[in-house]
Amino acid sequence: MGAACALLLALSGCHDGKGAPSAPALPEVGVATIAPRTIRLADEFNGRVEAVDAVELRPRVSGYLQRVAYKEGDLVAQGALLFEIDPRPYRIALDRANAQLQRARAAASLANVQLKRVQTLIDAHATSQEELDNARATAEQARADLQAADAAVADAKLNLGFTEVRAPIAGRVGRAVATVGNLARADDTLLTTVVSQNPVYVYFDCDEQSYLRYNARRADPTHRAIGADPVRVGLANETGFPHAGTVDFLDNRLDPQTGTIRARVRLPNADHAFTPGLYARVQLVSGRDQDALLVDDKAVLTDQDRKYVYVIGPGDKALRRDVTIGRGLDGERIIEKGIQAGDRVVVDGMQRIYYPGAQVKPKALPARADAGAGNGTGNEPGSGSGNRTQAVADAGAPAAQ
């Protein structure tokens, strides 16, 4: 009996000093306070890089190639020697032309002397008018022959100069299609190609709706001129659109077969990052500036055909809000309906909310740094003005409900 009492006392002692079991800790979620931001809608297109100047180099005189004077694939300056055609036949032709010029000069000099002699005889009434007319005609013919001989020398000099085939533009030179020892025919044989490097063009086809939006924006006096807004360009291996250019050409009609219009972007290329023929992505500002509410894309959840977010309500309860979403922007999403400025939206830890209305422990997350503002460059018009962030949204993605 004593042992049983001792056991009861020991068991009762185990609960001494302890109250009711503690409540479980509230799940922690990351929240972001929504604030209006100024965005600028843009469309994205696929484009192709092209050189401003591209030259197929062909000889201007015929002859056998004597030397290839460049390294294939090099950058060359305008006027750099690329090929040399055997100049010997053209030097001989120049010597022959010079000899003909000397003969013509001698003949012209003799004709002038004879004309003066006949003129003296005419003054002395010692010869006929016919002799004077013949002398004048001979002198005129000699002067014409002299001019022809002079032109022949100039032509021979040109042809001799054309045996040195030089780069007509600065740029990158391609492989030598014709090599030493081959016959190059004037204006026919392709020797190589030269393409300019800086600046470059990016051509793209703009659809009708985007074109109309772009025209509506240009109707604004501040955006009337082509090129008033920078165009952003990115290559296939780049994130976002890190390069800035300007639209410098819009075609004069839409293609009725495709419903598109050809446009062109001019880009600086001092670092030679763009090579003609490369694929490029083009982001063209096409809408007017407008205020919008944006949330992190991963905060938007899906319930069958509905989109919703969790908003922190009174008592730190996670309340479900059905929303209408718009276009995407660098990992964020435009919210057209369902939330308002000042709402605290759950952007991290949504999986810890087991049911709508559950109490949570909200933790404020730092605001994203200038998300979407010209792809992080901060150089777009209006960036950094007050507390409002300039951004460019992708208008190419259809809005989802």
Residue spans per domain, the chain? 28-41+290-394, 45-52+197-287, 60-85+163-194, 87-161
Q: What is the mean pLDDT of residues 196-205?
A: 96
What is the C-alpha separation between 121 and 128, in angstroms, rounded?
Answer: 9
- End-to-end CA gap in the chain: 76
**87-161 matches 28-41+290-394 in CATH topology:** no
Q: Please, what is the angle between helix 88-123 and helix 129-161, to 10°?
A: 160
pLDDT: which is higher, 23 or 51: 51
Domain 45-52+197-287 coded CATH 2.40.30.170 = yes
Specify the CATH number for 87-161; select among 1.10.287, 3.40.720, 1.10.10, 1.20.1440.
1.10.287
pLDDT: which is higher, 76 or 387: 76
Beta strands 28-33; 361-364: pairing state: parallel
Q: What is the pTM of this model?
A: 0.67
Q: Does the structure show a pLDDT above 80 at 171?
A: yes
DSSP state for residue 399 in the 8-state scheme = P
Q: What is the mean pLDDT of residues 339-365?
A: 90
Which amino acid belongs to residue 143?
A: R
Which amino acid belongs to residue 306?
A: R
Q: What percent of the chain has pLDDT over 90?
A: 51
> What's the Cα-to-Cα distance from 150 to each of 88, 158, 227, rounded to whole Å?
21, 13, 52
The tokens for 62 are 């015929």
User: Contact at 8 Å (CB) between 47 and 163?
Assistant: no
Query: The tokens 């003609």 sit on which residue?
Result: 276
Query: The tokens 């955006």 sit on which residue?
Result: 223
Q: Does the structure show a pLDDT above 50 at 1?
A: no
Domain 60-85+163-194 coded CATH 1.10.540.10 = no
Q: Does the structure show a pLDDT above 70 at 282?
A: yes
Residue ranges of alpha helices (H) inside 66-200 are 88-123, 129-161
Residue 326: predicted pLDDT: 84
Residue 220: predicted pLDDT: 67
pLDDT: which is higher, 374 or 138: 138
Indicate the pLDDT class of residue 10, thresholds 50, 70 and 90.
Answer: very low
CATH class of 28-41+290-394: mainly beta
Q: What is the mean pLDDT of residues 198-221?
A: 86
Residue 21: predicted pLDDT: 61
What is the C-alpha separation between 310 and 367, in angstroms, rounded?
Answer: 18
pLDDT, tens only, 297-321: 889 999 888 999 999 999 999 999 9
Q: What is the mean pLDDT of residues 166-184?
A: 95
Residue 47: predicted pLDDT: 96
What is the C-alpha separation between 379 and 367, in angstroms, rounded?
Answer: 20
The tokens for 372 are 């979407």
What is the C-alpha separation between 74 and 91, in angstroms, rounded?
Answer: 31
- The strand pairing partners of 266, in sequence order, are 201, 246
Q: Is 126 exposed, middle or buried (0-12, 13-18, 19+ CB in 10 A)?
A: exposed
The tokens for 371 are 């998300």
Residue 374: predicted pLDDT: 39
